[in-house]
Amino acid sequence: MSVVTYSDQNTLLGKCYITRSYVFLHDKILNERDTLTYSLCKDGEVYGYSVQPNQPLTELYHIPCYVVKFVFSAVDTLHQPGQEAVMDQLCAALKREVESVKGYYVLRIPAHIVDLIRAVNRNLNRILFCGGTVEEIYTESSKQITWSREIEVLFADRLFVETHRQQLLSMALRSFQNYQGQYHISPVTSGNAGEIYRRWIEHTLDDYKENALIVVRHGQELAGYCTLREDTLAVEAVLGSVNQEKRRLGVYKAMFYTLIQYAKEKGKLFLSSTQFDNYIVQGTWSALGLRPFYSIYNVHFDNR
């Protein structure tokens, strides 16, 4: 048996991974069971999911869009017949819900929980497999990274954001137009997938907060940037982009190395995620001391 706790919150799972303990997350799930859209209990453990509106996708595609996230206070990552029966009940309830409410659903299925995957396959039809994402966390690295003096890494202030706003948005659209993410894979969302990422960047700029954007300049030209999300536990690199004319200069590595040092100085975890097949980025992360600690299958359910 390999029993773990699971909640689709990367910073909390990151803490579990680093401390090698699920106790605090286990208790949190039991205490917050009432906040879930649906849950059931077996042997004192909670199995559930939440269905949350995805407002950015709803506004872009003009159809109701939702995200489905799973929560388990204790779950075996290996197949267990009794556990699979519970997962069947869970997915049967989910099927009733998504078929009764018109919309487009994005299911985030943890890749390491086999009985949930089996239950999804058995209970849900009209699903679209849209690839997967891997979550990585900084562990340790003894390497000192250096880069060209022409490269400058800095946190953007509000004036920088206002001055370079259009350039930042254009770079985002250009970078993610042909990016092979889940929204590019789905035939429902592929036509305007690049615009999703541009809008995410735009929202960051519209509601700009201190230390929410790190930028790289090369020869006084904007060479790359990354948006950040920070809480009491961790610093997360969300969306990164490098100017295509500035590739192979070490821009991306310099940016992420700086972010790692920033998180370490604040005594926080550092995390980021990317698509399964984004091997170049994962290679850079590995060189900087990041390690994968869980992954998600992106499965879409079309009930428009």
- Per-residue model confidence as pLDDT tens digits over 131-169: 999 999 999 876 788 888 889 999 999 999 989 999 888
Name residues whose C-beta falls within 8 Å of residue 137's C-beta, 6 or more positions apart in sequence.
Answer: 14, 17, 18, 269, 270, 271, 290, 291, 293
Pairing, β 103-110 against β 65-76: parallel
Asked if residue 230 lies in contact with residue 197, where contact means CB atoms within 8 angstroms, the answer is no
Q: Name which of 23, 31, 19 is nearest 3 in CA terms.
A: 23
Angle at 282 between CA 279 and CA 283, to 5 degrees: 85
- Lowest mean pLDDT across 49-53, 220-224, 296-300: 220-224
- Per-residue model confidence as pLDDT tens digits over 235-279: 999 998 888 777 778 899 999 999 999 999 999 999 999 999 999
- Per-residue model confidence as pLDDT tens digits over 81-139: 999 999 999 999 999 999 999 999 999 999 999 999 999 999 998 899 999 999 999 99
Confidence band, pLDDT 50/70/90 cuts, at residue 1: low
Q: pTM higher than 0.85, yes or no?
A: yes
